[in-house]
Amino acid sequence: MMTEVLEKIAFEDPGPAVFFGCPRWPLICPAAPQPHHDAFTRWWLENVGGLPTPEDVRKFKRRLEASNLLLDEDRHADLIHADLLAAGDPEGGIPPFDPEEEAAAYARVGIDVRDDPHFAKLFELAELGRLRASKRSKSRDPKAILRARSVKAEKALRKTRKAAAKRSRTCSKVIRRSPLRDPERDRKILAEIQGFLAVGVGVRFTPLKRELVSPHSSSPLLPATTTGRSTAYDPVIQLPPWSKASLPLTGMAMGIAAGNQGAVDFTLHLGDSGIAYARGVGELLFARRLHRRITDALKLKCPRMGYSTPDLFFLVEQGEGERPHLHGVIFAPADKALRRHLRDTLSAAVGTDWKPPGRDKTQLEFGSFYEPAGWVKYMTKWTELTKEKVGDNVFACSWSMTRNGKDWYETVRGGRGLLLPGKAVLYAT
């Protein structure tokens, strides 16, 4: 039937709609070959050559998934054609594809295309294109807009603080050493660690720069054999001493040490009375005042229920358009009744006069703490922005958790420990 339509159109011109519609039929996607790899591996083979390494997956897979490059062949072609049909060609004076007008134009020359499978495919693609166009034209989710503003403000504040610190060292008449702690450096280290763990690759630590592994490295950390291994070597990351590590790395160490002992992550929203108390005038600042109030409540009520006072640490977070809330780690009991009592105690300590905004219906949420490094990275995402809103004190921690985190950090750093991904975040030497 396709041949008959083209032959008839060659001699009779039913109008501009037919001229616009006919060339589109050959655009229907041919059958794609059956893939023998996942979409990322196939794209890498075709555009880079060779199979991707775990590091390639970590660095590039998420970026490619954000685009339409990793869709299967048929779906990718369908989306392109759907957008073309819905948009038309404004510069060429060609309107968007209208199935009804197209069918009427063919009917004027005596051809019925309504039952043709090719026309049905064009109709389906045109509807898909209009749906995609309507979604793009709608205003973005308010939460997404606020999240984007928070990310932008956080980047600007980090850049400003870094420039101010550099300017302070440059203008000083006294020769100073470089600062002991570098949060920006530690954020990059944490992001690298979390990136390897996210793709199922263990990470080995070292205190020495010369032991870092490169393609031509003679590092003693290279394994003697690769039997049964998917890679030739473990990624090796240099960790600074504990005394020179800042919040991203110390928080990661405390989180992993607590995760090994059964702690869980939590998110706690603050009530109006809790925020007013934290902002009160006194010798303690925002996070420390909240920590003191929470620990006092736990020490008072937990022994009455027959379990010891749980240790915890948390960071305060407040993005654009948000209220202050806490992300942290706590040793919560497994028993449902005791955990319900802990939930009531924590909520009362930070103010039960909390009003659920939007989709958040629970004041306190416990998580599984599946990946401590990823959770700490999430906790520290808007640290500088939060400091601008509530003050510099945004972190508070129980002393025992600090001690355990330091012990874990120094053990894996000095012992060249291997951090494994997954729920069991144990290390092996």
* 368-404 tens-digit pLDDT: 888 888 899 999 999 999 999 888 899 999 999 999 9
Is 225 part of any domain? no
Written as one letter, the residue type at 339 is: R
Q: pLDDT value at position 398?
A: 93
For the segment 305-333, the average pLDDT, to the nearest whole number, is 91
Looking at 200-209, 224-233, 340-349, which range is the least confident one? 224-233
Distance of CA 221 to the CA centre of its chain: 31
Contact 201, 211 (CB under 8 A): no
Backbone angles phi, psi at 355, to 5 degrees: -105, 120
H/E segment holding residue 262: none
Considering the domain architecture, whether residues 281 and 407 belong to the same structural domain is answered as: yes
* Residue bearing tokens 């990793």: 70
pTM of the prediction? 0.65
Tally of domains within the chain: 2
Distances, alpha carbon 269 to alpha carbons 96, 151, 153, 357, 370, in Å? 49, 21, 22, 10, 21
CA distance 132 to 239: 47
Domain range for 85 is 2-32+72-137
pLDDT tens digits for 341-359?
A: 999 999 999 998 887 765 5
Mean pLDDT computed over every residue of the chain: 78
Is 412 part of any domain? yes
Within 196-311, strands assigned E span 203-206, 236-238, 264-269
Q: Where are the alpha helices (DSSP H) in 209-246?
A: none
Written as one letter, the residue type at 210 is: R
Question: With 70 as the cut, is the pLDDT of residue 424 above it?
Answer: no
Is 416 part of any domain? yes
Of 104, 121, 137, which marks where a domain is finished? 137
Q: Which residues contact 285 (CB under 8 A, 6 or more apart)?
A: 391, 392, 393
Considering the domain architecture, whether residues 266 and 408 belong to the same structural domain is answered as: yes
Is 320 part of any domain? yes
Is 248 part of any domain? yes
* Residue bearing tokens 């319900």: 340
Of 81, 113, 137, which marks where a domain is finished? 137
CA distance 75 to 88: 20
Is 195 part of any domain? no
Percentage of residues in the chain having pLDDT higher than 70 = 76
Of 137, 158, 184, which marks where a domain is finished? 137
